[in-house]
Amino acid sequence: MCFSRLMFTFVTCNYLPRMKKLIVLLLLFCCFKVSAQTTITKAFSAGFELGIPANGVFSIGTGASAKFELPIASPVSLSLTGGITSMFYKSNLFNSSRTPGAAVFVPLKAGVKYFFNRGVYAEGEAGTAIEANYARQSVFAFSLGPGFIAPVGEKNGIDISFRYESWANQVRQTAIHIAYRFGL
C-alpha cells in the first residue's frame, strides 16, 4: 500500500475527530506542495480570521489581525500580534432579541515562529485577550499551530495558518488565519 493511500485511509476513518482530520490534511499539503521564501526577513502581515469554538456559548468568531515578525536566528523569528475578534453567541445567529450582540475581544500576543523549511512553520503565542464590550475583563490567551507562506513576488506572500487557541475559560477554538505578508 503506498504512503498516500495509507494516509487517506487513516484520515478518512474515525480515528481522528473532524477538525483534527482537516489539520492533518493541511499539514500534509504543506509538507509536499508548498515552496516559498527561503530566507527569513522582517515582515508585516494583515489579514482575516475565522474561529470555530470547541464548546461553550459561542458558535463562531470572525476578526482581523496584524502581525510584525522580527528574525532572531536562521529558522526562528519573534512575532507581535494584535487584532479584534467578534464572537457570536449560539442563539444570536438567528437574530433572537433575547441574546446579546457579539462579544468583542482584542487579543494582544507575542510569540515565536519556527520555520521548518521553505515557508512551512509552527508558531506559539501568549498574551492577553481583552473583552471590549461586556465584562471588560482581560484574560490570559495562548495559541499554537502550523502554517505556511505561499510566495507572491520576491518578498511578499500569502500566510495561511491554523491554530488551537485558548483564552482562559472564555474561549477555546480552532482558528484559521489568512493574511497578506509584506516582506520588509
Confidence at residue 171, expressed as pLDDT on a 0 to 100 scale: 84
Nearest to 110 by CA among 120, 131, 124, 92: 124
Q: Is the pLDDT of residue 132 over 50?
A: yes
Measured CA distances, 78 to 14, 134, 180 (Å): 37, 32, 18
Domain ranges of the chain: 34-183
Q: Is the pLDDT of residue 94 over 50?
A: yes
Q: Is the pLDDT of residue 13 over 80?
A: no
CA separation for the pair 78, 175 (Å, rounded): 20
Asked whether the whole model's pTM tops 0.75, one would answer no
Tell me the pLDDT band of 39, cut-offs 50, 70 and 90: low
CATH fold, domain 34-183, is Porin (2.40.160)
Confidence at residue 118, expressed as pLDDT on a 0 to 100 scale: 76
Tell me the pLDDT band of 155, cut-offs 50, 70 and 90: confident
